[in-house]
Chains A and B, each alone.
Chain A
Amino acid sequence: MAASTCQKNAITLKGSTETVSEFFMYGINSILYQRGIYPPETFTRVQKYGLTVLMSTDEKLKVYLQQVLKQVKDWLLDTTLQKLVIVIKSLDTNEVMERWQFNVECDKTVKTDSKPREKSEKEIQKEIMGVIRQITASVTFLPLLETACVFDILAYTDKDQDVPETWGEAGPHFIANSQEVRLRSFTTTIHKVDAMVAYRNDD
């Protein structure tokens, strides 16, 4: 009994990677739903983190996100990911409307076979729930996206990393005259994820 609970609270690099990439999956889907990037009827309700999270049922989108997150997972495992940014751009003008930034702090000392850290899964889930909740609540202060929008995912990785074949270098897609709101963060003790959203300030 004692052994099993001990196992439950142990965080390995692999497990932490799983947790973080899973969070990205749910977080990105949440953003896409909440910001109305895709029609609401293409989303389905899923119970996760003690919340109802809306996940896309669009096959193409699902495949796209899986491909992106597979690579992100590799970077998380190498602890070379610095940031993951979801950029929401206007379809017509290609202007950046919103920028959801997830700063990832990786503990570089941890290796795949190093000793697991201690943190209860419940606690992590609770922290993630806080972040997802904030994403949902952000609708109240973010300005309405008047035009049709598309999204793009940017990954900031360490300089010495090789660029995978399916990925290309991109600009940072900053928003001129932006307003920034810091959201909560969560940590698995190996990866610390800080959330932030920047939006256009049209006053």
Chain B
Amino acid sequence: MSHFQLDSAIQDSVRMDAPIQKGPMMRWQRKALESGVRTLSLSDAVNDSRGLSPRRPKSANPLTMKLTPNKKTPNTPTSARPSKTPSKTPTSKFRLRGKTPNKNTPTSKPGAQGASDRFIPNRTTTEMDISHYRLLNNEENEDPLSPNKIEYQRKLDENVGEQNAKILSFKQKAPQAKEGHISSLKVLYSAAKTTAPKSTSTRFIPQQAERVLDAPELLNDYYLNLLHWSANNHLVVALGGAVYIWDASDGSISQLFEIENQDEYVSSVQWIKEGNILAVGISTGAVQLWDVGAQKLVRTMTGHAARVGSLAWNAYILSSGCRSGAIHHHDVRVANHHIGTLANHSQEVCGLAWSPDGRHLGSGGNDNLVNIWGATMQESASPIHTFTQHLAAVKALSWCPWQPSLLATGGGTADRCINFWNITTGSMLASTDTNSQVCSIVWNKDYKELLSGHGFSQNQLTIWKYPSMVRVAELTGHSARVLSLALSPDGTTVASAAADETIRLWKCFAVDKTKKSVCGKVKDSGHMGKAMLMRGSIR
């Protein structure tokens, strides 16, 4: 039988000209019905059931569908519950007006199915607000738990559900770590990161060292100052127990002296401003003065209890910093040389520098302090300022040559910062994280730049623009940490001594070409004249 039914259904559906007898009414008809507009009906079949009078669709619609959240019986028809305003509460039942062609017809009239191959939703009758609300607010108790929720529930039980346990903690809390301590891992992991911005400089800076000098037995000790360049263009370096002088003008090397005792070594060297006298600190605590021209020991000054790791000249005053933390002032002219002691460091003094105007002495120690002292030479003096911001030993101390109250200091591995201080006000002006141990800082007046020597991980020399502190260049080449820097008297070349037992000379502050041409015009005029003459002769 069923194939006959199908046959007639096909017959019905292919007859396009006849009015539609079965199946859902046309969309426009439904629309018209719902909106209550009276239209001239084309199909009796439609109007027969509804009548001709305009009706309110809500009351007229006999079929009210209740879509209960219980999804097993979605199509159960219930008695009509006329409610004119669709309630927004979640408990209100979802009602569908009008026939839903696809859902309704198949069950009631399976034979009349053929024509409706599409589901056309009736938007005016669907209560969009409520369905939307329903979709978003699934009532949990009736929904089966999604895998996500099961997992969540499991976690919740695991953690919160542990009601059979008491969580106790010791009332007295663990002692805190020392202030300012930095995890060594942080130091290690962040060493390669360069955070400081890089500047766009048009200046040419050679990336290769101009010259590499061998420095065997150079002590790999951060706390010593073993390199200095004199006004006479002599570069002095202490290699173990011996002191060598390299004449930068002709490249000749001479040994000044060597300590006989194998256990002793030179711990610091410093030229007097004039460049003829060299002060040498010895591991025994003695400070020697050498006349380099005569290659003669002029004087030995004792008084320190331990090695002298830092020296600084201020005219005839020599200041020496000791491992004991004491700083002694020596008046090198008089027999009773020891004229003052500065005691505020508790550990080795590794950085010492007089300001260019000779009014202040800056000292940095292994106790992470930077002290600023006045030039008064009385006993038991106290520092003008004490800066505690560094988190590691402060070896790099350098006064700005064009701004006498500006001091730059650089900290060791755990600190890695270059800090700038205004010593008249005692305030920190700026701080830059270099991400590497700072061993030394050298200022350059021409370009208003400074050069800092670093350790792990790049072992580089970094040129910074002051005061913006953007990186101008990085000079790499050393294979171990840089220990000391020295600036040539003409200010164009920097010597760096590193733990790889080399001294490299970097011509990083070479004078600008445009400037050179201006000042070099007079010199070159003779040459130029010759060229002009030649040209003239050719013509």
Interface residues of A (CB under 8 A from B): 35-40, 58, 60-61, 64, 67-68, 71, 82-83, 91, 139, 144-146, 148, 150-159, 161, 163-164, 166-172, 174
State whether A168 touches B171 (Cβ < 8 A): yes
Chain B contacts with A in 313-343, Cβ cutoff 8 A:
none
Give the Cβ gap from B338 to chain A, nearest Cβ, in Å: 35
B89 touches A (CB below 8 Å): no
Most A CB atoms within 10 A — which of B168, B182, B189?
B168
Per-residue contact bits, chain B 157-191, to A (CB 8 Å; 1 contact, 0 not): 00100111111111111111110011111100110
Among residues of A, the one whose C-beta sits closest to the C-beta of B177 is A38
Chain B contacts with A in 491-518, Cβ cutoff 8 A:
none
A36-B185, A166-B171 known; A161 vs B166 contact (CB < 8 Å): yes
Residues of B close to A167: CB separation below 8 A: 168-171
State whether B170 touches A166 (Cβ < 8 A): yes
Among residues of B, the one whose C-beta sits closest to the C-beta of A65 is B174
Residues of A close to B172: CB separation below 8 A: 64, 67, 166
Chain B contacts with A in 19-60, Cβ cutoff 8 A:
none
Give the Cβ gap from B163 to chain A, nearest Cβ, in Å: 7
Main secondary structure of the interface of B (DSSP, over half): loop
State whether B185 touches A170 (Cβ < 8 A): no
Interface residues of B (CB under 8 A from A): 159, 162-178, 181-186, 189-190
State whether A170 touches B169 (Cβ < 8 A): yes
Residues of B close to A172: CB separation below 8 A: 159, 167
Give the Cβ gap from B257 to chain A, nearest Cβ, in Å: 37
Within the assembled complex, what's the spacing in Å between the Cα atoms of A157 and B170? Answer: 13
Among residues of A, the one whose C-beta sits closest to the C-beta of B190 is A144
Most A CB atoms within 10 A — which of B163, B167, B178, B181?
B167
Residues of B close to A146: CB separation below 8 A: 186
Give the Cβ gap from B461 to chain A, nearest Cβ, in Å: 27
State whether B167 touches A169 (Cβ < 8 A): yes
Known: A144-B185, A150-B176. 15 other contacts (CB 8 A): A35-B183, A36-B184, A40-B184, A61-B174, A64-B170, A67-B170, A145-B183, A153-B170, A154-B168, A156-B168, A159-B165, A161-B166, A163-B166, A163-B168, A169-B166
Q: Which of B165, B176, B181, B184 is close to A156, meaning CB atoms less than 8 Å apart?
A: B165
Residues of A close to B168: CB separation below 8 A: 154-157, 163-164, 167-170
Q: Which of B162, B169, B182, B184 is close to A168, meaning CB atoms less than 8 Å apart?
A: B169
Within the assembled complex, what's the spacing in Å between the Cα atoms of A37 and B178? Answer: 10
Residues of A close to B176: CB separation below 8 A: 91, 150
Most A CB atoms within 10 A — which of B162, B169, B182, B190?
B169
Give the Cβ gap from B243 to chain A, nearest Cβ, in Å: 34
Within the assembled complex, what's the spacing in Å between the Cα atoms of A148 and B182? Answer: 7
Residues of B close to A161: CB separation below 8 A: 166
In the assembled complex, 12 residue pairs joining A and B whose CB atoms fall closer than 8 Å, in A order, are A64-B175, A67-B170, A83-B165, A145-B186, A152-B169, A152-B173, A154-B169, A158-B164, A158-B165, A158-B166, A163-B168, A172-B167
State whether A144 touches B170 (Cβ < 8 A): no
Give the Cβ gap from A30 to chain B, nearest Cβ, in Å: 14
Residues of B close to A91: CB separation below 8 A: 176
Give the Cβ gap from B145 to chain A, nearest Cβ, in Å: 22
Within the assembled complex, what's the spacing in Å between the Cα atoms of A101 and B241? Answer: 56
State whether A150 touches B173 (Cβ < 8 A): yes
Within the assembled complex, what's the spacing in Å between the Cα atoms of A161 and B30? Answer: 74
Within the assembled complex, what's the spacing in Å between the Cα atoms of A35 and B189? Answer: 13
Residues of A close to B159: CB separation below 8 A: 172, 174
A68-B170, A166-B170 known; A148 vs B165 contact (CB < 8 Å): no
Residues of A close to B178: CB separation below 8 A: 38-39
Residues of B close to A158: CB separation below 8 A: 164-166
* 3 closest Cβ pairs, A-B complex: A36-B183, A170-B169, A60-B175
State whether A159 touches B177 (Cβ < 8 A): no
Among residues of A, the one whose C-beta sits closest to the C-beta of B183 is A36
State whether A154 touches B167 (Cβ < 8 A): yes
Among residues of A, the one whose C-beta sits closest to the C-beta of B173 is A152
Give the Cβ gap from B124 to chain A, nearest Cβ, in Å: 46
State whether A152 touches B174 (Cβ < 8 A): yes
Most A CB atoms within 10 A — which of B162, B165, B182, B185?
B165
Residues of A close to B164: CB separation below 8 A: 158-159
Q: Which of B166, B174, B177 is close to A148, meaning CB atoms less than 8 Å apart?
A: B177
Q: Which of B169, B181, B186, B189 is close to A153, meaning CB atoms less than 8 Å apart?
A: B169
Q: Which of A36, A64, A148, A155 is close to B167, meaning CB atoms less than 8 Å apart?
A: A155
Within the assembled complex, what's the spacing in Å between the Cα atoms of A159 and B168? Answer: 11
Within the assembled complex, what's the spacing in Å between the Cα atoms of A155 and B166? Answer: 8
Among residues of B, the one whose C-beta sits closest to the C-beta of A152 is B169
Give the Cβ gap from A149 to chain B, nearest Cβ, in Å: 8
Within the assembled complex, what's the spacing in Å between the Cα atoms of A145 and B183? Answer: 8
Q: Which of B170, B177, B181, B184 is close to A71, meaning CB atoms less than 8 Å apart?
A: B170
Residues of B close to A37: CB separation below 8 A: 177, 183
State whether A150 touches B169 (Cβ < 8 A): no
Within the assembled complex, what's the spacing in Å between the Cα atoms of A89 and B163? Answer: 24
State whether B177 touches A157 (Cβ < 8 A): no
State whether B165 touches A157 (Cβ < 8 A): yes
Residues of A close to B181: CB separation below 8 A: 38-39, 148
Within the assembled complex, what's the spacing in Å between the Cα atoms of A39 and B167? Answer: 29
Residues of A close to B186: CB separation below 8 A: 36, 144-146
Residues of B close to A36: CB separation below 8 A: 182-186
Within the assembled complex, what's the spacing in Å between the Cα atoms of A5 and B506? Answer: 71
Q: Which of A139, A150, A159, A168 is close to B174, meaning CB atoms less than 8 Å apart?
A: A150
Within the assembled complex, what's the spacing in Å between the Cα atoms of A57 and B170? Answer: 21
Among residues of B, the one whose C-beta sits closest to the C-beta of A86 is B174
Residues of B close to A166: CB separation below 8 A: 170-172
